[in-house]
C-alpha cells in the first residue's frame, strides 16, 4: 500500500511536470516552426522541457512491469536512453554557451534560469539514467529473460491511449499556464468555460483509467456513460458558443493553441472535443467486450 502511494505521488508529480513541460516546450518550438532557422537554439530547450513526458511514460511502464521479468530490460533500456539523452543535452547546452548561442548560463529569457535550468534537467537525466542502468544490472533476472518474454502491451489500443494521454497532458499544461495568461477581463471570458472544463476532463479521464477504474461492470459502464455525457454536453456548449460568438476563441484562446494561429487553422475545437468523446466511447466499447468475455 505504501509503495502504491509513493508510486502514485511520483506519477502525479511527473504528470504535472510533463503537462507544463509539454505545453511550454510546444510554445517555444512554435516560435521557430516557420523555417526551423534557430533549431540549434530551440531543440535543446524542447528536448529538456519534453523530457518529463518521456519520464512519465517510462516510469508508468516500469511500474506496471515492476514485478515481471520485463522489469530488468525496461530499466536497462530506459536507463541507457535517459543517460544518452542527458549526455547529449549537457554537451549541446555547454557548446551553445561556449559558442555564444546562449550568451550566459543565466540569460533570463525562456525561463528565469535559462539555460541553467535545462542544463540541470539534462544533468539529472544523465545521473538518473546511469542509476537506472546500474540498478538494472543488480537485479536478479537476466536480460535474456526479458528479451525472451513476449510483449504483453495494449496493442493499437495502447497506441491510441498514449496519443490521448499526450493530448490530455497538453491541455492540462495549457490550463495551468492559462491561469497566468487567461484574458479574465474579456467580455467573452465566460464562453471559455466549456473549453477549460474539457481540458480538465481529459486529465480526469486519464486519472480514472489509470488509477481509479474498478468496481462492477455496471459501475464502470455508468462512469463511462457519465464521461461521454459530460464530454458531449461540453462539446455541444462549445459549438453553441461558437454560434453565439465565433470570435470568442480568437479573442481569448490565441495563447492556448499557437499552431492554430501560426498556420491559420481552426484545430482547437476538434482537439478539445473529439479526444474525450472518442476515449469515453472506447471505454464503453471496452466494457461491452469485457461483458461478452465474462
Partner 1 sequence: MKVHRFWLGGVLPLLALCSCSASSSIPLSSDEYVKDLNFSSDVFNILQLTDIHYSFATNLDSANAYLTAVKDQAEKEAKKYNANSKIDLIMVTGDTLLEADKAIANSVYDLIDSWKIPYDFTYGNHDRQGNWSPDWMKNRLEKGDYSLYDEVDDDIWGHSNYVLDIKTNGTLAWQIYSLDSNSYLPGAIVHSYDYIHDDQVQWYEAQADVAKTGENYVPSLAYFHIPLRQWVTAYENKDEDTILGEAHESFCPSKHDSSFFDAAKSRNMKGMFCGHDHSNDWTCQYEGVVLGYGVKANRELYYHKSDAGYDITGGSIVTLHKEGTFDLTHFYVNTDDTSDVHEARAVGL
147 half-sphere exposure, CB direction, 13 A CA radius: 5
Q: CB of 198: closest distance to partner 1 in angstroms?
A: 13
Q: CB of 156: closest distance to partner 1 in angstroms?
A: 27
C-alpha cell at 6: 509513493
Among 254, 277, 278, 284, interactor with partner 1 by CB under 8 A:
254
Omega into 22 within 30° of 0, i.e. cis? no
Kindly determine how many residues on this chain lie close enough to bind partner 1 according to the rule CB under 8 A: 55
Q: Do residues 84 and 154 touch, judged by C-beta distance below 8 A?
A: no
Q: CB of 172: closest distance to partner 1 in angstroms?
A: 16
43 binds partner 1 (CB under 8 A): no
Among 240, 274, 285, 290, interactor with partner 1 by CB under 8 A:
240
Q: CB of 99: closest distance to partner 1 in angstroms?
A: 12
Closest CA to 123 of 86, 93, 91: 86
Q: Do residues 136 and 76 touch, judged by C-beta distance below 8 A?
A: yes
How many angstroms separate the CA atoms of 252 and 184, rounded?
A: 9
Comparison of 215 and 229: residue with beta carbon closer to partner 1: 229
Comparison of 89 and 194: residue with beta carbon closer to partner 1: 194
DSSP state of 191: G
Among 151, 180, 214, 294, interactor with partner 1 by CB under 8 A:
180
200 binds partner 1 (CB under 8 A): no
Comparison of 40 and 219: residue with beta carbon closer to partner 1: 40
105 binds partner 1 (CB under 8 A): no
Closest CA to 278 of 233, 241, 227: 227
How many angstroms separate the CA atoms of 95 and 103, rounded?
A: 11
Closest CA to 58 of 25, 88, 85: 85
181 binds partner 1 (CB under 8 A): yes
Comparison of 27 and 168: residue with beta carbon closer to partner 1: 27
Q: Do residues 124 and 153 touch, judged by C-beta distance below 8 A?
A: no
Q: Kindly report the CA angle at 71 between 68 and 74, in degrees rounded to 5?
A: 140
Taking CB under 8 A as the binding criterion, the range among 7-15, 22-30, 167-175, 283-291 that sits at the site for partner 1 is: 22-30
Q: Do residues 14 and 51 touch, judged by C-beta distance below 8 A?
A: no
250 binds partner 1 (CB under 8 A): yes
How many angstroms separate the CA atoms of 214 and 218, rounded?
A: 10
Neighbours of 152 (CB within 10 A): 10
45 binds partner 1 (CB under 8 A): yes
Taking CB under 8 A as the binding criterion, the range among 5-13, 35-43, 166-174, 208-216 that sits at the site for partner 1 is: 35-43
Among 17, 28, 56, 238, interactor with partner 1 by CB under 8 A:
28
Among 11, 141, 210, 266, interactor with partner 1 by CB under 8 A:
266
DSSP state of 107: -
Q: Which residues here bind partner 1, judged by CB under 8 A? A: 24, 27-28, 30-32, 34-35, 37-38, 41-42, 45, 101, 103, 108-112, 177, 180-191, 193-194, 237, 240-242, 244-250, 254-255, 258, 260-262, 264-266
Amino acid at each position: 500500500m505504501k509503495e502504491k502511494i509513493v508510486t502514485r505521488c511520483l506519477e502525479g508529480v511527473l504528470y504535472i511536470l510533463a503537462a507544463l513541460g509539454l505545453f511550454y516546450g510546444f510554445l517555444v518550438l512554435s516560435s521557430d516552426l516557420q523555417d526551423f532557422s534557430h533549431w540549434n537554439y530551440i531543440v535543446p530547450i524542447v528536448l529538456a522541457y519534453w523530457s518529463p513526458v518521456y519520464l512519465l511514460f517510462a516510469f508508468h511502464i516500469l511500474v506496471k512491469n515492476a514485478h515481471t521479468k520485463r522489469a530488468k530490460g525496461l530499466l536497462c533500456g530506459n536507463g541507457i536512453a535517459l543517460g544518452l539523452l542527458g549526455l547529449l543535452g549537457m554537451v549541446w547546452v555547454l557548446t551553445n554557451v561556449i559558442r555564444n548561442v546562449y550568451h550566459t548560463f543565466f540569460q533570463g529569457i525562456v525561463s528565469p534560469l535559462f539555460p541553467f535550468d535545462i542544463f540541470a534537467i539534462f544533468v539529472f537525466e544523465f545521473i538518473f539514467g546511469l542509476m537506472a542502468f546500474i540498478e538494472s544490472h543488480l537485479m536478479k533476472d537476466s536480460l535474456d529473460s526479458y528479451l525472451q518474454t513476449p510483449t504483453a502491451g495494449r496493442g493499437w489500443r495502447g497506441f491510441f491511449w498514449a496519443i490521448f494521454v499526450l493530448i490530455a497532458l497538453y491541455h492540462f499544461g495549457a490550463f495551468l499556464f492559462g491561469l497566468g495568461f487567461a484574458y479574465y477581463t474579456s467580455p467573452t471570458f465566460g464562453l471559455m468555460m466549456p473549453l477549460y472544463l474539457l481540458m480538465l476532463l481529459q486529465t480526469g479521464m486519464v486519472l480514472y483509467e489509470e488509477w481509479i477504474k474498478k468496481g462492477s461492470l455496471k459501475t464502470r459502464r455508468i462512469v463511462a456513460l457519465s464521461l461521454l455525457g459530460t464530454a458531449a454536453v461540453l462539446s455541444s456548449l462549445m459549438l453553441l458558443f461558437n454560434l453565439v460568438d465565433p470570435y470568442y476563441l480568437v479573442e481569448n484562446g490565441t495563447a492556448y493553441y499557437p499552431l492554430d494561429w501560426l498556420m491559420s487553422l481552426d484545430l482547437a475545437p476538434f482537439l478539445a472535443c473529439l479526444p474525450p468523446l472518442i476515449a469515453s466511447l472506447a471505454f464503453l466499447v471496452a466494457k461491452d467486450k469485457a461483458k461478452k468475455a465474462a
